[in-house]
């Protein structure tokens, strides 16, 4: 356990992934010891419904509880579950434009159907809604994943997405807080810099996040907001302070994947830096087992405040009632 950590009853301050379709013996032993708050799945973890269910069961067995298992299932380019076993979704922006004035209801239905597909596998979280606001220079890696260029409309649709997921027993993870829309580079590859002053950010970029500040979980943006700080939001105490105080988000704050090229330093340094800045939990993806070990050691256990937020987030996870997916699919088809 990290020497500065807390009582072992607290979750590990990490969300981690697996190398393949099933857990190796080494991964099982590691997860048992590290006790991560949750897990995340990628394409390499997905072959068939039965296999995904078995993998989710194994993950939860290692920590001895119903740990959160999340995934990136936005639709379009970013969807880990694909045909023939799962629905093929158009990009979010295309869905929104097709539905026009009915976009909030169309997106609620879309994510309610998605939630049913996720829950059937044992997945109970989704890294959505994405409420970054499109700007004139938004990088193409993001644009068609967005819901529009009006903060008010983005907030409305984001609320509908979150409601669809929550109704289906799936915890939404709002991203990329405090807003990635003005970034002109892809944070998977480079560190984006945003020059807009704080007042402009508040009026536009922060606004949808503030409107949805009651959601249980959010994911940071690896972006430098030069009008506020010279460090990326994920490792900036100033930016996390703005997320908490100006945006008003008091839910569980997780980092975006700390292995993305936007962040400098070793993985353990970044993990520690993000937690010291005020993030609650570190997301590490696509890393070797020894790197996952090093990050889990550096992150240690959740602080009491983070643990309280984690427990509050978990309470938002309901067991959904019966729903007629074919009826919802037909209704969604009528809105396009």
Answer whether residue 26 is part of any domain.
yes
Answer whether residue 321 is part of any domain.
no
Residue 60 and residue 122: Cα distance in Å, rounded? 10
> How many CB atoms are closer than 10 A to CB 100?
10
Residue count (the chain)? 336
pLDDT classification of 187: cutoffs 50, 70, 90: confident
Query: In this structure, what token pair is assigned to residue 285?
Result: 């993806």
Share of the chain above pLDDT 90, in %: 93
pLDDT confidence of residue 194? 95
pLDDT confidence of residue 1? 41
Answer whether residue 335 is part of any domain.
no
Mean pLDDT of 297-317: 98
262: pLDDT strictly greater than 90: no
pLDDT confidence of residue 4? 46
Q: Which residue shows structure tokens 């839910």? A: 251
Mean pLDDT of 36-52: 98
Q: Which residues lie closer than 8 Å to 158 by C-beta, 6 or more apart?
A: 129, 130, 131, 147, 174, 208, 211, 212
The torsion angle over the Cα atoms of residues 205, 210, 212 and 213, rounded to 10 degrees, is: 130
pTM passes above 0.75: yes
Answer whether residue 4 is part of any domain.
no
Q: Which residues lie closer than 8 Å to 37 by C-beta, 6 or more apart?
A: 11, 12, 13, 14, 15, 67, 68, 281, 302, 310
Q: Which of 17, 72, 132, 256 is catalytic?
A: 256
Peptide bond preceding 129: is omega within 30 degrees of 0, i.e. cis?
yes
2: pLDDT strictly greater than 60: no
Answer whether residue 6 is part of any domain.
no
137: pLDDT strictly greater than 50: yes
> How many CB atoms are closer than 10 A to CB 216?
22
Mean pLDDT of 316-325: 93
Answer whether residue 1 is part of any domain.
no
Mean pLDDT of 98-119: 98
Using alpha carbons only, what angle is made at residue 296 by residues 293 and 299, rounded to the nearest 5 degrees?
Answer: 150
pLDDT confidence of residue 239? 98
pLDDT classification of 100: cutoffs 50, 70, 90: very high
Q: Which domain holds residue 70?
A: 12-316
Query: In this structure, what token pair is assigned to residue 209?
Result: 């996040």
Mean pLDDT of 112-136: 97
Higher pLDDT, 28 or 3: 28
| Known catalytic residue at 188 | yes
| Known catalytic residue at 137 | no
Answer whether residue 27 is part of any domain.
yes
pLDDT confidence of residue 3? 44
Q: Which residue shows structure tokens 């158009």? A: 90
SS3 assignment for the chain: CCCCCCCCCCCEEEEECCCCCCCCHHHHHHHHHHCEEEEEECHHHCCCHHHHHHHHHHHHHHHCCCCEEEECEEECCEECCCCCCCCCCCCHHHHHHHHHHHHHHHHHHHHHHHHHHHHCCCCCEECCCECCCCCCCCCHHHHCCCCCCCHHHHHHHHHHHHHHHHHCCCEEEEEEECCCCCCCCCCCCCCCEECCCHHHHHHHHCHHHHHCCCCCEEEECCCEECCCCCCEHHHCHHHHHHHHHCCCCCCEEECCCCCCCCCCCCHHHHHHHHHHHCCCEEECCCCCHHHHHHHHHHHCECCHHHHHHHHHHHHCCCCCCCCCHHHHHHHHHHCC
5: pLDDT strictly greater than 70: no
Q: Which of 4, 9, 51, 45 is nearest to 27 (CA)?
A: 45
Name the domain count of the chain. Answer: 1
CATH of the domain at 312: 3.20.20.300
Q: Which of 57, 88, 137, 188 is catalytic?
A: 188
Mean pLDDT of 212-216: 98
Query: What pairs with residue 217 in β-bridges?
Result: 173, 252
Q: Which residue shows structure tokens 């700007």? A: 135
Answer whether residue 111 is part of any domain.
yes
pLDDT confidence of residue 261? 87
């Amino acid at each position: 356990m990290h020497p500065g950590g807390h009582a072992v009853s607290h979750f590990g301050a990490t969300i981690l992934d697996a190398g393949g379709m099933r857990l190796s013996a080494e991964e099982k032993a590691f997860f048992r010891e590290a006790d991560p708050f949750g897990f995340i799945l990628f394409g390499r973890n997905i072959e068939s419904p039965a296999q995904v269910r078995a993998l989710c069961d194994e993950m939860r067995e290692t920590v001895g509880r119903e740990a959160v298992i999340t995934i990136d299932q936005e639709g379009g380019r970013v969807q880990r579950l694909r045909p023939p076993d799962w629905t093929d979704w158009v990009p979010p922006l295309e869905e929104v434009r097709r539905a026009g004035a009915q976009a909030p209801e169309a997106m609620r239905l879309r994510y309610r159907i998605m939630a049913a597909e996720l829950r059937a596998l044992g997945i109970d979280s989704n890294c959505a809604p994405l409420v970054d606001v499109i700007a004139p220079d938004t990088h193409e890696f993001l644009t068609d994943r967005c819901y529009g260029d009006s903060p008010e409309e983005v907030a409305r649709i984001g609320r509908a997405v979150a409601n669809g997921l929550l109704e289906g027993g799936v915890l939404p993870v709002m991203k990329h807080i405090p807003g990635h829309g003005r970034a002109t580079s892809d944070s998977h590859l480079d560190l984006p810099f945003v020059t807009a002053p704080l007042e402009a950010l508040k009026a536009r970029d922060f606004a949808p996040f503030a409107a949805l500040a009651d959601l249980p979980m959010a994911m940071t943006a690896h972006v430098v907001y030069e009008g506020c700080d010279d460090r990326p939001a994920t490792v900036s105490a100033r930016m996390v302070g703005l997320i908490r105080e100006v945006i008003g988000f008091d839910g569980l704050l997780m980092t975006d994947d700390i292995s993305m090229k936007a962040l400098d330093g070793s993985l353990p340094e970044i993990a520690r830096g993000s937690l010291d800045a005020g993030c609650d939990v570190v997301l590490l993806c696509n890393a070797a087992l020894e790197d996952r070990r090093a990050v889990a050691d550096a992150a240690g256990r959740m602080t009491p405040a983070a643990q309280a937020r984690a427990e509050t987030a978990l309470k938002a996870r309901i067991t959904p009632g019966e729903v007629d997916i074919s009826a919802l699919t037909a209704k969604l088809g009528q809105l396009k």
